[in-house]
Amino acid sequence: MGFQPVDFAHLARFNSAVSSEFLDTYNKHVDAKIAAERSEPAHQTFAPSSFRCDRRSWFRIRGVEPDKAPSSDRTLRFVADVGTACHRIIQTNLKEALGDRWIDVGVYLQNQDVNYEYTLTYPADSLETQIEVLKPPIRFACDGIVKCDDVYYLLEIKTSEFGSWNELLDPKREHVDQAKMYATMLGLSDVLFLYMDRQYGELKCYEIHVSDTDKQEIWDRMNKVMEFAEYGIAPEALPKGDKWCTPQMCPYFKKCAEYGR
C-alpha–C-alpha distance, residues 213 and 69, integer Å: 37
In the predicted model, residues of the chain with pLDDT beneath 50 are 1, 3
Whether the CB-CB separation of 148 and 101 falls below 8 Å is answered with yes
Helices (H) and strands (E) in the chain, counts: 9, 8
**Predicted local confidence at residue 1, as pLDDT:** 45
CA angle 196, 248, 55 (to 5 degrees): 100
Structural domains of the chain in order of their starting residue, each with its CATH number: 8-39 (no CATH), 48-257 (3.90.320)
Per-residue b or e along 143-177, where b marks 16 or more CB atoms closer than 10 Å to that residue's CB? bbbbeeeeebbbbbbbbbeeeebeeeeebeeebbb
118 Cβ contact list (under 8 Å, min separation 6): 109, 131, 132, 133, 134
Whether the CB-CB separation of 195 and 204 falls below 8 Å is answered with yes
**Predicted local confidence at residue 68, as pLDDT:** 67
**Predicted local confidence at residue 147, as pLDDT:** 96
**Predicted local confidence at residue 127, as pLDDT:** 79
C-alpha–C-alpha distance, residues 145 and 167, integer Å: 27
The number of angstroms, rounded, from the C-alpha of 84 to the middle of its chain's C-alpha atoms is: 11
**Predicted local confidence at residue 9, as pLDDT:** 55
Full-model pTM: 0.85
Q: Is the peptide bond before 136 cis (omega within 30 degrees of 0)?
A: yes
